[in-house]
Copies of this chain bind each other. A is one copy, B any other.
Amino acid sequence: MTEAINTRKKPRQIRAQATVAAILEASAHILVDDGHDALNTNKIAERAGVSIGSLYQYFPNKEAVMTELIRQKRSRMLTAVDMALDDTRSDVFDTALDAVLASIIQLHLNWPRLALALDQAEAFLPLDDETIQFKVALNGKIKEVLGRQGSKVSEQTIQDVVAIAKGMIEQASLARETDEVDLRRRIMRAVIGYLGR
């Protein structure tokens, strides 16, 4: 009997996953194409090819859609940084930092306007547990990278480095830069300059 239940549940869950994915994808597209002010649940549902009722089956309200989009972004970011660090066998500081930057820039340049929109939404988010946890996790990884350089790394330093990188990447996004390698080189210069040899 339990088996029967399970076999009937699975397809539903798969369909549900597809629905959720479609909703998030549609939201991202609207954000990119028309901007945050034009994002509304009816449009999301329409563009996702889903009824408005279905949207509210999976998201309690409009804000939840944005929150989930941010959650995805954060998750992709942490994963990317982790992978960058894993790939870097050596303990050489420069190489590690470069790899991390490469992974983050990748995320931004893929969908510049989306990244920007989500960054903005994030900036005005209340500092809930999840946000704090994410920042702790990210800062921890950055600290690890900067630590390979030898000297001690203060919280202030981490935030400054993140701020520098974020500022330069966003500006590159807005300017529609495409030369990822050059951008990385310039950010490295600023960060290393800031850290001071």
Measured CB to CB, the nearest residue on chain B to A183 is: B160
- Digit string of A121-163 for contact with B (CB within 8 Å is 1, else 0)? 0011000000000000000000000000000000010011011
Most buried by B among A123, A175, A191: A123
In the complex, whether A54 has a CB less than 8 A from a CB of chain B is no
Cβ contacts under 8 Å, A196 to chain B: 189, 193
| A171 close to B166 (CB less than 8 A) | yes
In the complex, whether A116 has a CB less than 8 A from a CB of chain B is yes
CA distance A33 to B47 in the complex (A): 33
- Digit string of A162-197 for contact with B (CB within 8 Å is 1, else 0)? 111111101110110000000000100111111110
Cβ contacts under 8 Å, A186 to chain B: 156, 160, 194
Measured CB to CB, the nearest residue on chain B to A1 is: B2
Measured CB to CB, the nearest residue on chain B to A167 is: B167
Of B36, B124, B166, B190, which is within 8 A of A190 by CB?
B190
| B163 close to A167 (CB less than 8 A) | yes
Cβ contacts under 8 Å, A175 to chain B: 159
CA distance A104 to B186 in the complex (A): 23
